[in-house]
Amino acid sequence: MPQLLSILHTVFDMAIVLGFLILIHEFGHYAAAKYFSVRVEVFSLGFGKRLLGFTKGGTDYRISALPLGGYVKMSGENPMDDRTGDPGEFLSHPRWQRFIIALAGPTMNIMLAIALFTGVYMVHFEYLAVLDEPAVVGWVNPDTPAAKAGIQVGDKIVRVDDVENPNWEQLEVKTALSPNQPLSFGIERDGQVMQKELVPEPYGPNQYGDIGWVAKEPNFALTLVEPGMPADKAGIKVGDEILTANGQDVPQQAALIQLLNRTKDQPLQLVVLRNGQKLSFTVKPRLDPGTGGQGPAYRIGIASYPTKVVKLNFSDALKRSLTDSKRSSFLILELLQKVVERKASMRQFDGPIGIGSAVGQAAREKGWTPLLLITAAISLNLGIVNLLPIPILDGGVILLLFIETLMQKEISLPIKERIYQAAFVFLVLFFVMLIYNDLVKTLPGLTRMP
């Protein structure tokens, strides 16, 4: 029963978030259409059967049965509809006006994302502490590309492909989007820079590329102790700094994971530093079955992801929001390009199940900022994806308008019908593939959290 309630709660959260974002998207089309005097026949909150509403200015403002966003129906917007030549019809307007109307929906989603990011950054801008540090290797996992290439603890990464002096965020993005693709690195050791080529290996349910190195952190201080897990029962607390395990130094979380992979369910003797005092604990790991693509592994229920939290003023928050949105947009396009070129896996995309899981998890976290951040991220993705030159999507409408402008005439109706039919089949198959990927990711995989 608790699991069922959790699923229902996730579905509800996802419906609210996606519904709101779709409504914002459609409002963009609606506002632009009204501005250019295109007759809007229906503006609906939700889909399906009309429940209630009113008519004003020739528009039926309604609430429909399925509360999943909404839609706008403009007169004559469907190329397959019979055209009467009425000046209020969508296709009776100049192409530049139709272009703006098509662009308005994605633009609203992108603007919403920027606004949400800006607002959150002004209240709670949280980022990994290692981003303020040089890209120095703190640990190398055995039998990984980094280990095989001879990378050592203390090595500094001064270049990845054409990026000079990258931070860890830039490194992780580069490697994640390049599974099985060689990357060129500049590695500094003892004042000398070595040139190395490493090939990230596909890892985890999303098949992201992984080199096998871990960022150097000031200490192994815990940011999470899971309730009910062995570490919690043994008395270990958030803020404790792990010093040794079974007498071995564990400077990084990855070192403890490696130890757990060897010792399995044997008791661990942990020494931690708490408020300047060394304390000893005996912790018996347990085999966790794993969920959401995380496979079975022996764990004690701790994590260390040191972060920093600041409040940015409006100007800095807006600049950071624009920078993050621009970077994320290009990453989406880069990932799409690599998938088309078969250099990346389709499994790197999240479908409705993956998105719903992320929304549900954010909604269960403390405070509003996690939910607002995931909402902004989805809104940005929705805006960018809708700009792709695929008929039926807004980007497809823009592409056809551009082609018609070059041709100086309308594309014939039979050709448009075939284009839209092919696009519909493509989108259905793509959607099915996303759902399949989501289901595959729920199967047992690998885990790296102790």
Q: Tell me the pLDDT tens digit for each residue of 236-274.
A: 999 999 999 998 888 888 888 888 888 888 999 999 999
Instruction: Find out whether 26 and 69 touch, Cβ atoms under 8 Å.
Output: yes
Domain count for the chain, please give it.
Answer: 1
**292-318 mean pLDDT:** 85
Q: Burial level of 264, CB count in 10 A (0-12/13-18/19+)?
A: exposed
Distance between CA atoms of residues 440 and 438, nearest Å: 5
Q: Note the pLDDT of residue 203.
A: 83
**Mean pLDDT, range 177-191, rounded to an integer:** 93
Angle at which helix 369-386 crosses helix 2-35, to 10 degrees, equals 50
- Tokens 């004042």 — which residue? 191
Which tokens in the block code for residue 120?
Answer: 């959150």
| pLDDT, tens digit, 9 for 90 and up, residues 58-113 | 899 998 887 766 789 898 877 666 667 788 888 889 999 999 999 999 999 999 99
Provide the CATH number for the domain around residue 168: 2.30.42.10
CA dihedral 297, 298, 302, 307 (to 10 degrees): -40
Q: What is the pLDDT of residue 355?
A: 85
For residue 171, give its domain range: 130-215
* Alpha helices, DSSP H, located in 36-165: 95-123, 145-148
Q: What is the pLDDT of residue 82?
A: 65
Positive or negative, the CA dihedral 152, 153, 158, 160 is: positive
Percent above pLDDT 70 for the chain: 94
Query: What pLDDT band is residue 442 in, cutting at 50, 70 and 90?
Result: low
pLDDT (average), residues 333-348: 82
Residue-level pLDDT at 291: 55
Higher pLDDT, 426 or 296: 426
Between helices 413-441 and 352-364, what is the axis angle to 10°? 60
* Residues 222-232 pLDDT 10s: 988 999 999 99
pLDDT at 449 over 50: no
Residues 14-57 have pLDDT tens digits of 888 888 998 899 999 999 999 999 999 999 888 788 989 899 88
**At CA 7, angle to CA 2 and CA 13, rounded to 5?**
125
The whole-angstrom separation of Cα 372 and Cα 362 is 9
Q: Could you give the residue numbers annotated as active site? A: 26
Q: What is the mean pLDDT of residues 151-165?
A: 93
Does the residue 210 lie in any domain?
yes
What confidence tier does 447 reach under pLDDT thresholds 50, 70, 90? very low
Please give the Cα distance from 334 to 178 (Å, whole number): 10
Mean pLDDT, to the nearest integer, of 173-198?
93
Mean pLDDT over 324-339 rounds to: 89
- The answer to whether residue 135 sits within a structural domain is yes
181 assigned to some structural domain: yes
Residue at 208 is within a domain: yes
- Banded model confidence at residue 134, pLDDT cuts 50, 70, 90: confident
The reply to whether 399 falls in a domain is no
Q: What pLDDT, on the 0 to 100 scale, is given for residue 2? A: 58
Which is nearest to 252 in space by CA: 289, 276, 217, 226? 217
- Position 220 scores a pLDDT of 83
Model confidence at 448, in pLDDT bands (50, 70, 90)?
A: very low
156-160 vs 163-164, strand pairing mode? antiparallel
Give the number of other CB atoms < 10 A from CB of residue 38: 25
State the pLDDT confidence band at 321, using cuts at 50, 70 and 90.
very high
Q: What is the mean pLDDT of the chain?
A: 87
Question: For residue 214, is pLDDT > 60?
Answer: yes
Mean pLDDT of 313-342: 90
Q: Does 170 map to a domain?
A: yes
Would 240 be classed as within a structural domain? no
Give the residue from 305, 297, 237, 244 showing the smallest Cα distance to 450: 297
| Tens of pLDDT, residues 372-424 | 999 999 999 999 999 999 888 899 989 999 998 998 888 887 888 888 888 88
Q: Are 39 and 74 in contact (CB under 8 A)?
A: yes
Measure the CA–CA gap between 304 and 117, rounded to whole angstroms.
25
Coil, helix or strand for 15?
Answer: helix
Beta-strand ranges (E) seen in 167-306 are 183-189, 192-198, 201-203, 208-210, 213-215, 224-225, 241-245, 248-249, 268-274, 277-283, 286-288, 297-299, 302-303
The Cα 64–Cα 48 span in angstroms is 6
Q: Taking a C-beta distance cutoff of 8 angstroms, is the pair 93, 397 a contact? A: no
In a domain, residue 293? The reply is no
Token pair listed for 388: 């792709």
- The structure's pTM equals 0.82
Mean pLDDT of 327-344: 86
CA pseudo-torsion sign 119, 125, 127, 131: positive
pLDDT computed for residue 230 by the predictor:
93
By C-alpha distance, which of 139, 199, 217 is closest to 343?
Answer: 199
Evaluate the CA torsion angle 349, 335, 399, 323 in order and state its sign. positive
